[in-house]
A and B are shown apart, each in its own frame.
Chain A
Amino acid sequence: MDDAASQPEPLAETATALFSWHVEQGARMVDFAGWQMPIQYTSIVQEHEATRNNVTLFDVSHMGRLRFNGHGAGMLLDRLLTRQVSDMPVGQVRYSLICNHDGGILDDVLVYHLETPSGTRYFLLVVNASNRDKILNWIAAQWPDEAAVELCDRTLETSMLAIQGPHAIATVSPLLSTNIANLKYFNAKVTNQMNKPCIVSRTGYTGEDGVELILREDQTIHILQNILASGRQFGITPAGLGARDTLRLEAAMPLYGHELDEKITPLEAGLAFAISWTNTNGDTRDFIGCEALTEIKHNGQQRQRIGLLIDGKRVGREGYAVLANGQEVGMITSGTFSPTLQRPIAMAYVEQQFAELGQILEVDIRGTSVPATVSNLPFYKRTK
């Protein structure tokens, strides 16, 4: 009975600046990686369709925001990340992975190269909420002896809002001192909202056009009200983590803890585009995990991430076995009923020889074998 003293303290749940607002909107709140987050306000399908057809607002303040200052930042990040980032022009954003020495994925991240109004350049790393502590510890362990770099965890001092959907740009444009209609996909800028600094990027996790804003925590409610007022003409509504999950699944974007973990390599995950094997001079790059990944690239991989279109209406969910001729050949990592396609979709890892497009496999849905076809990813692609 005295064990209590020796047990680790439970992670204190953290509330974003919008916690009370979510509750006032009638959101169902859940614990996500230690954060109290809205899973849905009305219905996942309604919020999903509002994102595809109009515009929605997501509170994504739980994501970790790590700022790297100093002229050594690019070199440190080049060592930590599978992708070269020191060559990024100011204003660019890149998707990258952080791997361990075995080539297993520690996190998937967005890297921003930014410049303050006074001309100071820095890098910003947006990491998964569930991995923030792990990544901070990992970076500390890799810290070079004479690093001309300073790391600031800006997660609690800032908020992050995603405005997503065909009317996202028209909603946000009038509020910023920058013309974001010209901001290209995966570009970002330090700008102002009502004379308060904020970062705007044309990024998102929904498969739609949209932006993400990073702003001072104490400005969140204020900016939220401005966004809602500006988006009212388009019928803007809030959307929760439930819709975020179905949207990203249709867009085939991997989610850490599901499609990605420390036992999965970027090659198996189909994310080879996020590896720079050589630097801009053509020399072989020396990033953490590159030796293991080079070997796997040379020898071939065992399994691959695939998409599945499942017959019928029952959803193949995470952990369900994927079968070929009754033999288990893989496992589903995420599955849902696609609101856009009106049928069950899933992502899975299967043995390499079963990953061919059009291959008919089966999913074991609670004891029943249901036919499923290996499908092109993404399941949904917006028309530009």
Chain B
Amino acid sequence: MNTEELLYCDTHEWVFVSEQDGQKIATVGISAFAVEQLTDLVYMELPSVGAAVTAGEEFGEVESVKAVSPLYSPVTGQVTMVNDGLPDNLDVLNTDPYNAGWIMKVAISQDLPNNLLDHAAYQRQCGEAS
């Protein structure tokens, strides 16, 4: 993924939207900034395939030695795929959070929420946070 083409939640999830057979598919992950802030990841809970997710609502969680953090969905729709191997290999999130570290794919059923950030706006937010 080219990070400049992604959209971001202010809660540090990224989303990439593509189209397959007329259906919009969102690929969702968490940003390198989020991984760096969390550090020492130990556990991730994925949603089930077929589960409904809602933009702005929790779809899973990621846990570090220090704390547990909810994951928020950037989109509304139905989960079509999850990255099954990820919870047993969380180090991928350190090395490749935007490709091998994807978390779920969602068949989008509603327009994208208008509060998603583009790359420049997200970078600004991270700059202010750090």
Contact = CB atoms under 8 A, between A and B. Distances in A.
Interface in B43-102: 43, 45, 63, 65-66, 68, 87
Given A315-B68, A317-B68, A44 B63 contact: no
A45 B66 CA distance: 10
B40 interface: yes
B18 interface: no
A337 B66 CA distance: 9
Contacts of A339: 65
A337 B45 CA distance: 16
B42 interface: yes
Contacts of A337: 40, 42-43, 63, 65
Nearest to A43: B39
A44 B65 CA distance: 8
A248 to B, nearest CB: 14
A313 B68 CA distance: 12
A151 to B, nearest CB: 37
Nearest to A336: B65
Contact of B65 (A246, A312, A314, A366): A246
Interface centre among A40, A242, A312, A315 (most CB of B within 10 A): A315
B63 A314 contact: yes
Contacts of B45: 314
A337 to B, nearest CB: 4
A85 B58 CA distance: 55
Interface string A327-343: 00000000011010000
Interface in A331-375: 336-337, 339, 344, 366
B40 A314 contact: no
A242 B65 contact: yes
A317 B67 CA distance: 9
Contact of A44 (B39, B68, B87): B39
Nearest to B70: A366
Nearest to B130: A28
Nearest to A343: B42
A40 B68 CA distance: 17
A313 B87 CA distance: 10
Contacts of B40: 43-45, 337
Interface string B16-56: 00000000000000000000000110110100000000000
Contacts of A336: 65
Interface in A29-57: 40, 43-45
Given A314-B45, A366-B68, 8 more contacts: A45-B40, A313-B42, A313-B87, A314-B63, A315-B63, A315-B65, A317-B68, A339-B65
Interface of A: 40, 43-45, 242, 246, 312-315, 317, 336-337, 339, 344, 366
18 contacts: A40-B39, A43-B40, A44-B39, A45-B39, A45-B40, A242-B65, A246-B65, A313-B43, A314-B43, A314-B45, A314-B68, A315-B42, A315-B65, A317-B68, A337-B40, A337-B65, A344-B42, A366-B68
